[in-house]
Amino acid sequence: MTTIRPFYLDCDTGIDDALALAYLLATPTVELLGIGTVSGNVAAATGAANTRDLLQLAGTPGIPVAIGAHDFLARPFDGGAPHVHGPNGIGGITLSTADHTPHSETAAELLIRLAYENPGTLRILAIGPLTNIAHALRLEPRLPALIAEITIMGGAALVPGNITPVAEANIGNDPEAAREVLAAPWNITLVPLDVTMANVLEEEHRRELLAADTPLARTLGEMLGHYYRFYEGIFGRACSAMHDPLAAAIAVEAVALRTAPVIHVEVDAGHGPGRGQTICDLRGQHLGYPEQPGAHCRVVLELTEDFAAHLTNTIIGRTPQNQESRLQAAHA
C-alpha cells in the first residue's frame, strides 16, 4: 500500500513556486494539508492570492492558505522580484479569482497546529524566505521534534549566489531567519543553487505543458514564457532553472541523489559582503564526505539524472482532479 505523507508548504508564490505546487498536487504520495505564504518573490498577501487562484484552477480549492510575514526579521519587504516573475508574480497571467477571504491563522500558527495534529509525520517544504518558519520556532521551540523533515530551497554551497556574489535569494532576503532555522535541531535537506541551476527546463518542455489537457499545466506553460525571458540573460537561450519544483521532488523522494552529504551549515547574518551566504563545511569531499558529528543538514549537490522530463511528465500525466480519489484509495 502506498504511504501518504502529510506536507505543509511555505512559499512566496512566483512562477517556480507555481510549478512546485502543481508538482505536489500531482504526486499521489503527498497530502498537502496547508500552505503558508511569505514575502519574497511577491508580498505575502499577493502570494496567498496567487496560491488560492492556482488551487482553484487545479480543482483543489479546499486546501487552507494562510498569510504569513510581510516583512523580514530585520528589515522591511522591498517589493520582490517583478523582473523575474512579472508584476503579479505569475508572469502577468490573469487567473480566475478564487475566494480570497483570509485564513484565520497566520502561516506560523497553521504550521504549528498541523505539526501537533501530525506529530512525527508532517514534512515541511519551504521554498521562500524562511521568515515564517523562524516565527513558528519562536512561538513553539519544540517544533523540530514534531517534524519528520524540512526541505529548504535555498543557499549556494560551491557556486555563486543569485542576488549577491555569495547569497541566494531565499536565504539572502532574510539571513537572520535562515540562521535560526538552520541552527534548529531538525532533519534538514537543503537544495541550493548548485543543483537547481544545473537542471534546466527547456523550450520543448514548455511546449509540452502548453499542449497538455489540463488548464493548470497550460497556464504554467504560459507563465514560463516570462520566466524564460529573464533566464535568457543567464543561460543565453529560452529556458529556466527549476529551483522550487526540484526541491519539491527531493522532498517527496522522487528523484535519486548522486551527491548529498550531511554536513554543518551556517548562515552569515552579518552586514558585510558575505551577508546571506550559506557556509557549507565541505572539507571532507576528497574522502567521500565522512560523518561530521552533530551535523543534521543534508546538502544536495548533484542528481543522478536530469530532472526536466520527470517534472513535466508528473504535472501532465497525473491530474490534480484525480488526487482526491487516489488519496481515498490509499487510505482505504
Q: Residue 2 forms beta bridges with which residues? A: none
CB 17 within 8 A of CB 139: no
Nearest to 274 by CA among 152, 133, 156: 156
Per DSSP, which regions of 110-171 are E strands?
122-126, 147-153
Hey, which residues are catalytic here? 12, 243
Residue 265 amino acid letter: V
How far, CA to CA in Å, does 66 sit from each of 10, 36, 110, 210, 224? Answer: 9, 5, 7, 30, 26
Q: What is the DSSP letter of 306?
A: -
User: What one-character-per-residue DSSP string does 262-300 give?
Assistant: EE-EEE--SSSTTTT-EEE--TTGGGT----TT--EEE-
Exposure string for 198-219, b = 16+ CB within 10 A, e = fewer = bbbbbeebbebbeebebebbbb
